[in-house]
Chains A and B, each alone.
Chain A
C-alpha cells in the first residue's frame, strides 16, 4: 500500500493532480445544482407573488 502511494517517488506530483481534478469535478457538480435550484426558487417566488396580486 505504502509502495503504491509512493508512486515510485512521483507522489508529490501525482496526488495533488488527482486531488485538484477531483475538487474541480465536485465544485462543478455543486455549482450546477445550486444554480438550477436558485433559478427554481426565484421562479416559484415570482409565481407566488403573482398569485397573491390577483
Chain B
C-alpha cells in the first residue's frame, strides 16, 4: 500500500485543494442526517416513562457534549502530531478546532442546565460531570487565550500544543465521571460497550444527530483550516499559483 497520499496531505497546497473538495461531502450528509434526526426525535420518538417530553433535550444536548469531547481529543491529537513531526498543517487543524469546541461545550452546559432545572430541580450543581465539563470550557478558552497572546505563529503552535496535550487528561474524567462518582447526571445511554438503555425509536434519532453533528464539525474544520493554512502560507508561491488559476475560490 502506498502512503504517498497521506504524506501529501501534510503539504499545504495539497491539503488546501483536497479539503476544499471534501467540504460538500461532509456538509450535505450532515444536513440530511440532522433533519432526519430532528423529525424523528421531536415528532416520532415516544415520550419517556419518567421524564415525559422533557427528555427530548437529549437530541441536542448529547451531540453537543459529544462534540465538546471529540473536538478536544482531536485538537490534542493534531497538536501532538504537529509538535512531534513538525507538520504545520496539523498545527493549523488544531488551532481551527478550539473555537468550535468551546462553542459546543457552552451549548452542552447551557442545554444541560435547562434540562437539569425540571428534572433535578436546579440549573447548576457542583457535580463531577458538570464541573469537569466546565473545566473543559476553561481549557478551550485557555488554549485560545494562549494562542492569542503569542504573536509568533510557530511559538504559539508549540506552547498551545503542550497545553492541549496536558489538558486531554480531563476527557476521560468527564466521560467516566458519572460512573466513578455519585453524580446527579444520568449514566451513558449509548456511548458504552453494552446494549443501549433506550428503545430504537429513541436511539436511532440520537445516533442520526450524533453522526450529523460529527460530519458537520468535519466540514467546519476543513473550511476553517483552509483559511488558517492560507494565512500561514501567504508568502508561498503555491498560493499565487492556485489563486491565479482561480482554483482557490
Residues of A within 8 A of B (CB): 4, 7-10, 13-14, 16-18, 20-21, 24-25, 27-29, 31-33, 35-40, 42-44, 46-47, 50
Contacts and interface: CB of A to CB of B under 8 A. Distances in A.
Contacts of B248: 40, 43
Contact of A13 (B103, B106, B118, B224): B118
**Majority secondary structure, A binding face:** helix
Contacts of A42: 230-231, 234
Contacts of A44: 243
B244 interface: yes
B18 interface: no
A28 B64 CA distance: 13
B53 A36 contact: no
A21 B114 CA distance: 12
Contacts of B140: none
B224 A47 contact: no
- Pairs of residues from A and B, 5 with the lowest C-beta to C-beta distance, nearest first: A8-B53, A36-B227, A10-B54, A39-B230, A39-B227
Contact of A36 (B47, B224, B240): B224
Contact of B227 (A9, A24, A32): A32
Contacts of A36: 223-224, 226-227, 230
18 contacts: A8-B47, A13-B57, A13-B114, A17-B61, A20-B111, A21-B64, A21-B107, A24-B104, A29-B220, A31-B99, A33-B223, A37-B227, A40-B227, A40-B243, A42-B230, A43-B243, A47-B240, A47-B244
Contacts of B100: 28, 32
Given A7-B56, A8-B52, A27 B103 contact: yes
Given A8-B52, A32-B227, A47-B240, A17 B115 contact: yes
A31 B103 CA distance: 12
Contact of B228 (A8, A9, A17, A39): A39
A35 B224 contact: yes
Interface in B192-227: 216, 220, 223-224, 226-227
Interface string B48-91: 00001110110011001000000000000000000000000000
B10 to A, nearest CB: 19
A18 B54 CA distance: 12
Nearest to A8: B53
B234 A43 contact: yes
B110 interface: yes
Contacts of B118: 10, 13
Contact of A24 (B107, B117, B226): B107
A36 B223 CA distance: 7
A38 B100 CA distance: 18
Given A8-B47, A32-B227, A33-B223, A17 B60 contact: yes
A27 B220 CA distance: 11
